[in-house]
Structure 1
Amino acid sequence: MAPDLSTARTRLGELIAAAQRIVPFTGAGISTECGIPDFRSPGGLWTRNAPVYFDEFIASQAARNECWRGRFALDSAFGTARPGRGHHALAALWREGKSPGVITQNIDNLHQASGIDDSCVIELHGNTTYALCLDCDTRFELDWVREQFDASGGEAPACPRCHGFIKSATVSFGQAMPVEAMRRAEQLTLSADLFVAIGSSLVVWPAAGFPLMAQQNGARLVILNRDPTEFDAIADLVIRHDIGDVLAPWVE
């Protein structure tokens, strides 16, 4: 049975105090208090804008147009979001030297906005706050893409350098996981003596394998999530309270 809020904070505090290398692993739940809905729940992002699969994006101009239309429809959520208490608590642990970095499934850039250096945020599913050419890897800011999109009557622009397809810098369904990010995430996971999974349903693989990897390597495992996960039985501590409420004591 998951502990009450006060007990959960006390137990988590004891684990944090005893740890030398804390590795947080974050999912959509840490950002919901920032105004960004999760993906799968009723009212989530995918109920309003069905994802465009990567092979469809490559094969069809119409799919590319729809993909960018859906992305711009999310500006009201992503464009105004600011880091929440959970982000700030993890940033405090990072500044104190207790945590070497964060592994995240999120694409919202809020860990960086909370003060964690970009080099210490491992983004398994990319970042939606900018775009990349799939051929030459040139970076494009979203304001530029939006200008081109609107000026052409809703047609996704091509790269002005190489004419490749421009896509938000996220990992779409059917797109290969980023090799370097996965390598760094594994390295960080294996260095942890305390691994804290926060706001993740732990159902999206291969990312969901990192908590298991950490536990099997001898790390203590904490799962902080609203709903049960399939890894609760092997965790040292399971917390099912509001993430911001739980982590508030660690916010500087």
Structure 2
Amino acid sequence: MTSRTLVAVLTGAGISTDSGIPDYRGPNGLWQRDPSAQDLVTIGPYLTDTEVRQRAWLMRRDAGALGAEPNAGHRALVELERALPLRVLTQNVDGLHQKAGMPARKVLELHGTAQQVQCVRCRVRSTMAEALERVAAGEPDPPCRECGGILKPATVMFGEPLDPVVLEQAAGIAQACDLFVAVGSSLQVHPAAGLVEVAVKAGARLVVMNAEPTPYDELASEVVREPISTALPALVARVAA
């Protein structure tokens, strides 16, 4: 590819499983092991049920996601960014693309970030690390220090709309790119999954890299089922050559 080729990469939970962060829908995903865990990341139950919030805080405390490290898949995209114009559109909230060295301005976090928490009443933000310290100190459902409101991760939980500004930016990138690579995403969560169709309709070549079939495989010029931590570096080596 030429140095002017724009590559858009949509990443889902599958790129981070090798960093110890479980996905939701995969064969070994969180919801397969515990279907009730879906409530912990769904806005309705989270806001109305204190027990759900307490379980959610324990899940965040025990998951250790804040201590997760980037893997070979994340690092491969950093290498690609050094070779070609690249934008990462991520459904993940773990911040591992930036931690791997991807410039923050080139990462669109479609579903927000788990590195911060936000009050649902006054919208003030603080760090997730501070909130988890409060949980460890004995607060099972820490309220906002400013107004006493409910704290939630600064993520788009299931049942919440995406930020329309972020979505518009992502759609613009999908429409402008020459190559669209979907990595580790089930492509079942909309509107993020719909970016694939936007890119293909605009003439982009599509590569789907996911362990399980997706609804968009038939639109792809290449479908990869190999482990992402080995397959993505191999793809990057080809694309950047």
Local SS of the residue matching 2:67: coil
1:27-57 CA deviation, whole Å, 9 max, x = no partner?
A: 1111122222221234322324703221222
Percent of aligned pairs with the same amino acid = 38
Report matched runs for 1:6-155 at 5 Å.
16=1, 20-46=5-31, 47-48=33-34, 50-51=37-38, 52=40, 53-75=42-64, 78-99=65-86, 101-151=87-137, 153-155=138-140
Give the TM-score normalised by the residue count of structure 2: 0.87
Question: Offset at 1:137?
Answer: 2.7
The structure-2 alpha-carbon separation of the partners of 1:147 and 1:37, relative to structure 1 and needing over 3 Å to count, comes to closer
Partner Cα distance (1:66, 1:240) in 2: 34
Structure 1 gaps of 5+ residues are: 1-15
Would you identify which runs of 4 or more consecutive aligned residues in structure 1 move more than 4 Å?
Answer: 16-19
Partner Cα distance (1:27, 1:136) in 2: 30
> How many residue pairs end up in the alignment?
233
1:72-121 CA deviation, whole Å, 9 max, x = no partner?
A: 1212xx1332111111111122233421x200111111111111122221
Partner Cα distance (1:221, 1:142) in 2: 36
Structure 2 gaps of 5+ residues are: none
The equivalent of 1:209 in structure 2 is 194
The equivalent of 1:196 in structure 2 is 181
Stretch moving more, 113-122 or 56-65: 56-65
Supply the AA of the counterpart residue of 2:186: S
Partner Cα distance (2:18, 2:127) in 1: 26
The structure-2 alpha-carbon separation of the partners of 1:167 and 1:212, relative to structure 1 and needing over 3 Å to count, comes to same
The structure-2 alpha-carbon separation of the partners of 1:234 and 1:19, relative to structure 1 and needing over 3 Å to count, comes to farther
Give the TM-score normalised by the residue count of structure 1: 0.84
Partner Cα distance (1:83, 1:45) in 2: 20
Question: Offset at 1:193?
Answer: 0.9
What RMSD in Å do the two structures reach over aligned CA positions?
A: 2.2
Partner Cα distance (1:43, 1:20) in 2: 36
